[in-house]
Amino acid sequence: MQPSGLIIRAMTTPSTIAIDKLLPATFTAPGLSEAGFLELCAQFPDAMVEYTSDGTVIVMPPTDPESGERVVEVTTQLNNWRKRIGRGEVSGPDTGFRFRDGSRMSPDAAWYDEARWREAKKTLKPRQRFPVFAPDFVIEVRSPDDGIGRLREKMEEYIANGVKLAWLIDRMERSVTIYRSGQKPQTIDNPETVPGEGPVEGFALTPYRIFD
């Protein structure tokens, strides 16, 4: 996401500034611990908080109802497929993942193998909630407030951190861009369906409700 509001370049304690009145906002907090990140999230219960590998905190306001409805459509289609095949787990935008480069991101939709997740949880130390773990497949849906440049960077970051397949749905441009490890992104304009591959082979997204 590309915040266009307040930018704070300091280790200022967020609670000393009414950032919730100035969203979207970014500020730097290098070396933020898990406890510090969770405490920060608690200060913005109605916002989405992400953390980049360079120590930048991104706080985004709630999305609009139409964008939210489109994300629900994506997660519903993905979860219906999961139920049909009887394996894997599906999460939505309220789920955060801790990646190996130190970033914490919340894709709009994700599918991951449950056996991999169980193994990752074994690495947790006492009082830790998030193991280092990359879902196998993620989807991001561009909303009117999302800058396409930051979203493209985010998709590349997913792949660099071990996500095997990532889709960026740009409903304004009516396109889906597919990201794969070691390959250039592939953009499909106005597709009727988008077939899954690799970890989600057999899944097919019907994007017309997302575009419209």
Residue 202 CA to residue 31 CA, distance in Å, equals 40
pLDDT at 43: 87
- Residue 1 resides in a domain: no
Q: Are residues 161 and 130 in the same domain?
A: yes
Which residues of the chain carry a pLDDT beneath 70?
1-23
Q: Are residues 13 and 74 in the same domain?
A: no
Q: Are residues 15 and 81 in the same domain?
A: no
pLDDT at 23: 65
Among candidate residues 18, 44, 60, the one where a domain is terminated: 60
Q: Are residues 105 and 36 in the same domain?
A: no
Share of the chain above pLDDT 70, in %: 89
Contact 98, 121 (CB under 8 A): no
Residue 70 CA to residue 101 CA, distance in Å, equals 29
pLDDT at 127: 87
- The token pair at 135 is 């879902």
Q: Are residues 129 and 160 in the same domain?
A: yes
* pTM to 2 decimal places: 0.87
Q: Are residues 145 and 196 in the same domain?
A: yes
pLDDT at 61: 84
Residue 133 CA to residue 136 CA, distance in Å, equals 9
Cis, peptide link before residue 207, omega less than 30° from 0: no
